[in-house]
Amino acid sequence: MGRTTSKKMIPLLLLRILWIHADKDHMISMEYICDRLEDEFESERRMGRPALRKLVSSNIRQLNLFFHETQWCLNEGEELQICEKAIANPEQPGGYIKVYCLNDRLFSDTEIRMLHDSILFSPGVDDGCASRILDKLKRCAGKYFGSWFEYVKYRETFKRCQCERLFQYLMEIGKAIKKIRKITFRYRKNGKLSDRVYTVTPYFMVISGGWYYLICNTAGKDNLSHYRIDRMQQVAMHPMEQGKCMSQLEGVDSSFESHDIWRNIRECPMKSR
């Protein structure tokens, strides 16, 4: 991170240091905070360490006051606060030092691990997207994240999605469903992209076995169809043509759970179209 000379940045730098370097099991001292600020705040040498300690203490009080007055909670319940605790000073017998950390985080390490593994083992997410999401997710944790999980080893046991635009397609299909419009796309079967352009009326999407499916009506037919969305290419919403109402289809009632398509998706997810 580049250096700054503005004292106005101290609260943000202080929060950044506490977020990355401290947690309830690894509280950090005033000296540690000042050492970190020395790398971020050019004026530190001119003001001296005693003045910097005073500045940090003042900012901790102001931040805690701000958190209290705004009732700022990362999770429901307890307000965010910078915790302070006195512990024995290992360098001075009989003395003590104050250590600090944030009392809460947006996600606990266990919650981040759950989200991390859910993404890691989701076949419907391509490698590039998974890598980007996991990098962002890890930024929600401190530097000690994963220390309790270092002995967990992973093995790839499934084939990942190869569609890099999957989530763009999900958004485009969602818009079409909301506007009751038809969509067009090309479809990949047995690894080969078909020359045919499909026109369908989308009704909703489901997730089964980690894959996204579109439940729809294919133009020219009077029943429901389903397609694996990661196998679609060139998905586009028709600018004008309205979709067919589901009530006009044969053998379709309000209880979709009983429909053959849903049973087929659940029983044979890899064989779907």
With a CB cutoff of 8 Å and minimum separation 6, the contacts of 106 are 74, 75, 140
| pLDDT score, position 3 | 60
| pLDDT tens readout for residues 228-249 | 998 999 999 988 888 888 877 7
Higher pLDDT, 262 or 178: 178
Tokens representing 185? 């796309």
Q: 127 pLDDT exceeds 60? A: yes
User: What pLDDT, on the 0 to 100 scale, is given for residue 156?
Assistant: 58
Give residues with Cβ within 8 angstroms of 1, minimum separation 6.
39, 40
Residue 198: what pLDDT?
92
What is residue 251's predicted lDDT score, i.e. its pLDDT? 66
- pLDDT band for position 119 (cuts 50, 70, 90): confident
**Closest listed residue to residue 212, CA positions, set 163, 252, 263:** 163
Structural contact between residues 91 and 51, judged by C-beta atoms closer than 8 angstroms: no
Residue that the structure tokens 């309000």 belong to? 254
Q: How far is CA 145 from CA 18, 103, 122, 138, 164, in A?
A: 14, 16, 21, 8, 28
Domain ranges (residues) in the chain: 7-102, 107-160, 166-271
In sequence order, which residues have a C-beta less than 8 Å from that of residue 140 and are 6 or more positions away?
105, 106, 107, 112
